[in-house]
Chain A
């Protein structure tokens, strides 16, 4: 079945440094979504990518969807302490949506 791998599992950065998490699917995806979960909280939708090669930006966050629609990345520029949390990708193939294991980001002030 479809598998979604996400790396790294953990990332610790100094405030102001950049951060990137990568997501790879074993199958071609119809779309990919990104979520953020704060410690003790629930996942909150960030964005959805649908088109091959799509790039979307939300302030300091840049999301990319690969040309083959099998990989994606989330890049945060100049991290802030408010960026702390776990970032999940979720890849959809028809009626099957699978989450990556997440990348837990900690930011040192």
Chain B
């Protein structure tokens, strides 16, 4: 059972480039989300989805797009990378949205130069 799989694990981007962070889960979870983690800031919610075809903004959505065409996949797109987007990104999934256990992927370390 793979759980939550994120790719790539490490990425360096130039300012202005675009890229997609991939996230897939094999637990048939309705809920998926993306967080960024910066030193001393904890985890901040970027976007989340409560089911295929449904997405919503979190705390820090600017500069990011998401889509949820299938239950399994929830990619995060950086439209035009900026140095302020240098961070560690975590994808997470959970069954339902009533507060059940959230499972995190191993993280994607992104550096924008």
Interface set of A (CB-CB < 8 Å, partner B): 1, 6, 9, 30-31, 33, 41-45, 48, 50, 88, 90, 92, 95-102
Q: B residues within 8 A CB of A42? A: 90, 104-107
In the complex, are the beta carbons of A31 and B59 less than 8 A apart? no
Would you give the 0/1 interface string for B95-109, flagging 1 where the beta carbon is closer than 8 Å to chain A? 001011111111100
A99 and B59 alpha carbons, distance in the complex (Å): 11
Tell me if B41 is interfacial: C-beta within 8 Å of chain A.
yes
Main secondary structure of the interface of B (DSSP, over half): strand
Q: B residues within 8 A CB of A44? A: 104
In the complex, are the beta carbons of B43 and A88 less than 8 A apart? yes
Closest chain A CB from B8 CB (angstroms): 15
Closest chain A CB from B68 CB (angstroms): 15
Closest chain A residue, CB of each to CB of B38? A101
Tell me if B53 is interfacial: C-beta within 8 Å of chain A.
no
Closest chain A CB from B58 CB (angstroms): 8
Q: B residues within 8 A CB of A43? A: 43, 90, 104
Tell me if B45 is interfacial: C-beta within 8 Å of chain A.
yes
In the complex, are the beta carbons of A98 and B99 less than 8 A apart? no
Closest chain B CB from A17 CB (angstroms): 24
In the complex, are the beta carbons of A95 and B90 less than 8 A apart? no
In the complex, are the beta carbons of A98 and B101 less than 8 A apart? no
- Residue in contact with A99 in the complex, picked from B43, B56, B101, B107, CB distance below 8 Å: B43
Q: A residues within 8 A CB of B41? A: 101
Q: Do A95 and B42 form a contact, CB below 8 Å, given A43-B104, A45-B102?
A: no
A96 and B40 alpha carbons, distance in the complex (Å): 21
